[in-house]
Amino acid sequence: MSAPRVVTLDGPAGVGKTTLARRVAEALGLAYLDTGAMFRATALALGPGARELPEAELRARLAGLDFGLSGGGAASVLRLNGRAVGDEVRTEQVGMMASDVATLPVVREFLKAAQRAVGRATALVAEGRDMGTVVFPEAAHKIFLDAAPEVRARRRCEQLRAMGAPADLAAITEQIRARDHQDRNRAVAPLRPAPDAVVIDTGALDIDGVFAAIMAALGRA
Ligand code: DC
């Protein structure tokens, strides 16, 4: 069976999309595109207070951002103006800044065009919030991962503790709830499964179990 052209993988914060997108891309020989990292890098580039800027100023700043993807499989690298987007975007604070700028239609339009351009150039696993609903609605394979906020917060705490970082479960649960609320309720491209997506509740599964469920949904079990 030949590899699909675009697999979409959507879901809320902390559900494991990036880890799984990387694994699925590696297994299928596709590139993977972390569109959350695009929103995060854009939020950092626009700087604090971006939501208050006039649209013309936002457009001018966005015009200076050139996203690209290099490599493939698990080694896919997102680039902004030629430089690899790295761990500087991975904090929860930058996640919330990304969720803020993601409510702006001008930002979403700009990134949608950039994401589609990558999809035209490369077969890929695209992960985010609106890959199946808005950016690649024609994709033949759509997955939506979900889990209760408490489950996602507990997993994130375990990850942080494993890295030796402090982790406050109550604070992380609150951050996840706040980001969920904003991502699910915004006017443009809110987080929701496409009508033709396979929804996988990851609550009772470990990473290997979710990976197996995705591969089964793609007919690759
Ligand atoms: O997946 P993530 O946590 O890296 O995403 C960061 C934020 O970016 C998320 O809270 C909302 C926004 N986002 C979006 O609106 N649409 C996407 N396709 C990906 C991310």
Atom of ligand 1 nearest to the CA of 43: 8
Q: What's the whole-number mean pLDDT along residues 139-155?
A: 96
Q: Which of 183, 185, 186 to mutate to test the pocket of ligand 1 (most atoms within 8 A of CB)?
A: 183
Residue 159: pLDDT band with limits 50, 70, 90: confident
The whole model's pTM is what?
0.95
Q: Which amino acid is at 197?
A: A
- For residues 189-196, give the mean pLDDT: 96
pLDDT of residue 160: 87
CA 147 to chain centre: 15
Write a three-state SS string for 30-78: CEEEEHHHHHHHHHHHHCCCHHHCCHHHHHHHHCCCCEEEECCHHHCEE
For 54-73, how does the pLDDT look when each residue is reduced to its tens digit (9 = 90+)? 999 999 999 999 999 999 99
Give the Å distance between the CA of 128 and the centre of ligand 1: 6
Where in the chain are the domains?
Answer: 6-217
Q: How many angstroms is it from 1 CA to the middle of ligand 1?
A: 32
pLDDT of 3 higher than 80: no
Those residues with Cβ within 8 angstroms of residue 57's Cβ, 6 or more apart along the chain or in another chain: none
- How far is the centre of ligand 1, averaged over its atoms, from the C-alpha of 130 (Å)? 9
Homologous superfamily assigned to 6-217? P-loop containing nucleotide triphosphate hydrolases (3.40.50.300)
Per-residue exposure over 90-121, b if at least 16 CB sit within 10 Å of its own CB, e if not: eebebbebbbbbbbbeebbebbbebbeebbee
**Residues flanking ligand 1, CB < 6 Å:** 13, 35-36, 39-40, 95, 98-99, 102, 128-130, 179, 183
pLDDT of the residue at 205: 95
| Residue 4 clears pLDDT 90, i.e. is over it | no
Q: What is the chain's mean pLDDT, rounded?
A: 95
The rounded Å distance from CA 191 to ligand 1 centre is 9
* Residue from 39, 116, 142 to probe ligand 1 pocket by mutation (most atoms less than 8 Å from CB): 39
List for the chain the helix, strand, coil content (%; round to 5): 50, 15, 35
* Residue 1: band (very low, low, confident or very high) from pLDDT cuts 50, 70, 90: low
Mean pLDDT (whole number) for 101-122? 97
